Structure 1
Amino acid sequence: MTSHRISAEADPVRPGADRPLTIVVDGEPVTGTAGQTLAGVLLGAGRREWRTTSGGGAPRGVFCGIGVCFDCLVEVNGLRDVRACLRRAQDGDVVVRQGPDRAGAQEADR
Protein backbone atom coordinates (compact mmCIF):
# COMPACT_ATOMS: atom_id res chain seq x y z
CA MET A 1 0.00 0.00 0.00
CA THR A 2 1.31 3.41 -0.91
CA SER A 3 0.43 6.54 1.02
CA HIS A 4 0.07 9.94 -0.53
CA ARG A 5 -0.36 13.46 0.74
CA ILE A 6 -3.22 15.74 -0.09
CA SER A 7 -3.34 19.44 0.57
CA ALA A 8 -5.47 20.80 3.39
CA GLU A 9 -7.69 22.53 0.82
CA ALA A 10 -8.39 19.23 -0.94
CA ASP A 11 -9.05 17.25 2.24
CA PRO A 12 -12.71 16.15 2.24
CA VAL A 13 -12.75 15.83 6.03
CA ARG A 14 -13.13 19.37 7.27
CA PRO A 15 -14.10 20.39 10.77
CA GLY A 16 -16.92 22.85 11.12
CA ALA A 17 -16.53 26.28 12.60
CA ASP A 18 -15.68 26.42 16.30
CA ARG A 19 -18.70 26.79 18.58
CA PRO A 20 -17.55 28.47 21.78
CA LEU A 21 -18.97 27.48 25.13
CA THR A 22 -18.54 28.66 28.70
CA ILE A 23 -18.49 26.54 31.83
CA VAL A 24 -18.21 27.79 35.39
CA VAL A 25 -15.35 26.26 37.40
CA ASP A 26 -15.34 27.01 41.12
CA GLY A 27 -17.27 30.20 40.41
CA GLU A 28 -15.06 31.40 37.51
CA PRO A 29 -16.13 31.33 33.86
CA VAL A 30 -13.86 29.24 31.62
CA THR A 31 -14.26 29.15 27.84
CA GLY A 32 -13.82 26.20 25.53
CA THR A 33 -15.12 24.77 22.28
CA ALA A 34 -18.09 22.47 21.71
CA GLY A 35 -16.89 18.88 21.48
CA GLN A 36 -14.14 19.23 24.08
CA THR A 37 -14.20 17.15 27.22
CA LEU A 38 -14.27 18.95 30.56
CA ALA A 39 -10.62 17.95 30.98
CA GLY A 40 -9.82 19.49 27.59
CA VAL A 41 -11.49 22.77 28.54
CA LEU A 42 -9.71 22.83 31.90
CA LEU A 43 -6.31 22.03 30.39
CA GLY A 44 -6.87 24.58 27.63
CA ALA A 45 -7.48 27.18 30.33
CA GLY A 46 -4.17 26.29 31.99
CA ARG A 47 -5.67 24.34 34.88
CA ARG A 48 -3.66 21.20 35.53
CA GLU A 49 -5.23 20.04 38.80
CA TRP A 50 -8.82 20.02 39.98
CA ARG A 51 -9.06 17.37 42.67
CA THR A 52 -7.16 16.49 45.83
CA THR A 53 -6.68 13.04 47.29
CA SER A 54 -8.34 11.98 50.52
CA GLY A 55 -5.08 10.53 51.85
CA GLY A 56 -2.97 13.65 52.15
CA GLY A 57 -4.56 16.22 49.85
CA ALA A 58 -2.22 15.65 46.89
CA PRO A 59 -3.30 17.51 43.73
CA ARG A 60 -4.71 15.52 40.80
CA GLY A 61 -5.85 16.25 37.24
CA VAL A 62 -5.65 14.16 34.08
CA PHE A 63 -3.50 11.05 34.38
CA CYS A 64 -4.67 8.44 31.87
CA GLY A 65 -7.09 10.57 29.85
CA ILE A 66 -9.22 7.57 28.85
CA GLY A 67 -11.38 6.93 31.92
CA VAL A 68 -9.39 4.06 33.43
CA CYS A 69 -8.09 5.89 36.48
CA PHE A 70 -10.04 8.23 38.74
CA ASP A 71 -7.61 11.14 39.02
CA CYS A 72 -9.76 13.62 37.07
CA LEU A 73 -12.94 13.39 39.17
CA VAL A 74 -15.00 16.57 39.50
CA GLU A 75 -18.51 17.55 40.50
CA VAL A 76 -20.64 18.61 37.53
CA ASN A 77 -24.02 20.28 37.98
CA GLY A 78 -24.28 18.81 41.50
CA LEU A 79 -23.29 15.26 40.50
CA ARG A 80 -20.05 14.06 42.17
CA ASP A 81 -17.43 11.68 40.82
CA VAL A 82 -17.68 12.62 37.14
CA ARG A 83 -14.57 11.75 35.13
CA ALA A 84 -13.61 14.99 33.40
CA CYS A 85 -11.72 13.14 30.67
CA LEU A 86 -14.89 11.34 29.53
CA ARG A 87 -17.60 13.99 29.94
CA ARG A 88 -18.13 16.39 27.05
CA ALA A 89 -18.48 19.96 28.21
CA GLN A 90 -21.91 21.52 27.81
CA ASP A 91 -22.43 25.27 27.69
CA GLY A 92 -23.35 26.41 31.20
CA ASP A 93 -21.97 23.39 33.09
CA VAL A 94 -21.08 24.16 36.70
CA VAL A 95 -17.89 22.33 37.71
CA VAL A 96 -16.59 22.14 41.29
CA ARG A 97 -13.26 20.74 42.49
CA GLN A 98 -13.43 17.56 44.53
CA GLY A 99 -11.40 16.69 47.58
CA PRO A 100 -11.71 15.70 51.22
CA ASP A 101 -12.39 19.29 52.29
CA ARG A 102 -15.15 19.68 49.66
CA ALA A 103 -16.83 16.38 50.59
CA GLY A 104 -17.05 17.35 54.25
CA ALA A 105 -18.56 20.73 53.41
CA GLN A 106 -21.19 19.11 51.20
CA GLU A 107 -22.07 16.51 53.83
CA ALA A 108 -22.61 19.32 56.34
CA ASP A 109 -24.96 21.09 53.89
CA ARG A 110 -27.33 18.14 53.74
Structure 2
Amino acid sequence: MMRITDHPVLGPLENKEVTIQFNGVDYIGLENESIAATLLANGIRTLRYSEKERKPRGIYCGIGHCYECRVTVNGERSVRACITPVKDQMIVESQGFQS
Protein backbone atom coordinates (compact mmCIF):
# COMPACT_ATOMS: atom_id res chain seq x y z
CA MET A 1 0.00 0.00 0.00
CA MET A 2 1.10 3.53 -0.70
CA ARG A 3 0.98 5.89 2.27
CA ILE A 4 1.91 9.46 3.02
CA THR A 5 4.78 9.37 5.49
CA ASP A 6 5.13 13.12 6.13
CA HIS A 7 1.86 15.07 6.07
CA PRO A 8 2.16 18.86 5.54
CA VAL A 9 -0.27 19.62 8.40
CA LEU A 10 -0.02 16.58 10.68
CA GLY A 11 3.75 16.11 10.35
CA PRO A 12 5.64 12.79 10.18
CA LEU A 13 3.63 9.65 10.70
CA GLU A 14 4.34 6.83 13.07
CA ASN A 15 4.68 3.23 11.93
CA LYS A 16 2.49 1.98 14.77
CA GLU A 17 -0.67 0.33 13.47
CA VAL A 18 -4.05 1.24 14.93
CA THR A 19 -7.54 -0.11 14.30
CA ILE A 20 -10.45 2.17 13.45
CA GLN A 21 -14.01 1.28 12.59
CA PHE A 22 -15.74 2.84 9.56
CA ASN A 23 -19.43 2.09 9.07
CA GLY A 24 -19.14 -1.00 11.25
CA VAL A 25 -16.04 -2.49 9.57
CA ASP A 26 -12.54 -2.52 11.13
CA TYR A 27 -9.61 -1.07 9.18
CA ILE A 28 -5.90 -0.75 9.93
CA GLY A 29 -4.27 2.68 9.86
CA LEU A 30 -1.02 4.21 10.97
CA GLU A 31 -1.07 6.20 14.18
CA ASN A 32 -1.57 9.93 13.53
CA GLU A 33 -2.23 9.67 9.79
CA SER A 34 -5.48 11.33 8.76
CA ILE A 35 -8.77 9.45 8.78
CA ALA A 36 -9.03 10.12 5.05
CA ALA A 37 -5.56 8.65 4.39
CA THR A 38 -6.36 5.52 6.41
CA LEU A 39 -9.63 4.98 4.55
CA LEU A 40 -8.08 5.67 1.15
CA ALA A 41 -5.24 3.23 1.89
CA ASN A 42 -7.93 0.65 2.62
CA GLY A 43 -9.78 1.30 -0.66
CA ILE A 44 -12.53 3.54 0.76
CA ARG A 45 -13.20 6.52 -1.50
CA THR A 46 -16.72 7.58 -0.49
CA LEU A 47 -16.84 9.21 2.94
CA ARG A 48 -20.35 10.66 2.87
CA TYR A 49 -23.30 11.53 0.61
CA SER A 50 -24.46 15.04 -0.25
CA GLU A 51 -27.56 16.17 1.59
CA LYS A 52 -29.51 17.49 -1.38
CA GLU A 53 -28.63 15.26 -4.33
CA ARG A 54 -27.42 12.19 -2.39
CA LYS A 55 -24.22 12.01 -4.43
CA PRO A 56 -21.06 10.36 -3.06
CA ARG A 57 -18.42 12.66 -1.59
CA GLY A 58 -14.84 11.93 -0.62
CA ILE A 59 -11.49 13.63 -0.39
CA TYR A 60 -11.41 16.81 -2.49
CA CYS A 61 -8.92 19.38 -1.23
CA GLY A 62 -7.17 17.22 1.36
CA ILE A 63 -6.22 20.23 3.50
CA GLY A 64 -9.39 21.08 5.42
CA HIS A 65 -10.78 23.91 3.28
CA CYS A 66 -13.72 22.35 1.43
CA TYR A 67 -15.56 20.20 4.02
CA GLU A 68 -16.37 17.49 1.45
CA CYS A 69 -14.85 14.80 3.68
CA ARG A 70 -17.09 15.37 6.71
CA VAL A 71 -17.68 12.26 8.82
CA THR A 72 -19.00 11.48 12.30
CA VAL A 73 -16.23 10.54 14.74
CA ASN A 74 -17.09 8.98 18.10
CA GLY A 75 -20.54 10.60 17.86
CA GLU A 76 -19.29 14.08 16.83
CA ARG A 77 -20.74 15.13 13.46
CA SER A 78 -19.01 17.04 10.65
CA VAL A 79 -15.41 16.22 11.51
CA ARG A 80 -13.07 16.80 8.55
CA ALA A 81 -11.46 13.44 7.76
CA CYS A 82 -8.57 14.95 5.81
CA ILE A 83 -7.07 16.79 8.81
CA THR A 84 -8.17 14.63 11.74
CA PRO A 85 -5.60 12.05 12.88
CA VAL A 86 -6.71 8.49 13.56
CA LYS A 87 -6.61 7.11 17.07
CA ASP A 88 -6.85 3.46 18.06
CA GLN A 89 -10.45 2.23 18.40
CA MET A 90 -11.90 5.39 16.82
CA ILE A 91 -15.46 4.95 15.51
CA VAL A 92 -16.02 6.74 12.19
CA GLU A 93 -19.32 6.85 10.34
CA SER A 94 -20.28 8.37 7.00
CA GLN A 95 -22.90 11.12 6.94
CA GLY A 96 -25.94 11.50 4.73
CA PHE A 97 -27.78 9.10 2.46
CA GLN A 98 -26.48 5.52 2.25
CA SER A 99 -27.72 3.01 -0.28
TM-score, with normalisation over the residues of structure 2? 0.82
Q: Give the equivalent residue in structure 2 for 1:89.
A: 86
Q: Is 2:61 aligned against 1:64?
A: yes
Displacement of 1:55 after TM fit? 1.2
Q: Give the equivalent residue in structure 1 for 2:46.
A: 49
Q: Over alpha carbons, which structure has the higher Rg?
A: 1
- Structure 2, unmatched stretches of 5+, are 1-11
**Greater RCO, CA 8 A, separation 6+:** 2
1:77 to 74, 78, 92: 74
Q: Give the equivalent residue in structure 1 for 2:36.
A: 39
Quick one: distance in 1 between partners of 2:95 and 2:14? 33
Q: CA RMSD in A?
A: 1.6
User: Identity of counterpart residues, as a percentage?
Assistant: 38
TM-score, with normalisation over the residues of structure 1? 0.74
Relative to total residues, which structure has the larger strand share, 1 or 2? 2
- Structure 1, unmatched stretches of 5+, are 1-14, 102-110
CA gap of 1:33–1:56, structure 2 versus 1, over 3 A, is: same
**Matched-pair contact (CA < 8 Å) for 2:14–2:31:** no
Deviations along 1:37-84, whole A, 9 cap, x unmatched? 000000000000110001110000100000000100000000000000
CA gap of 1:82–1:16, structure 2 versus 1, over 3 A, is: closer
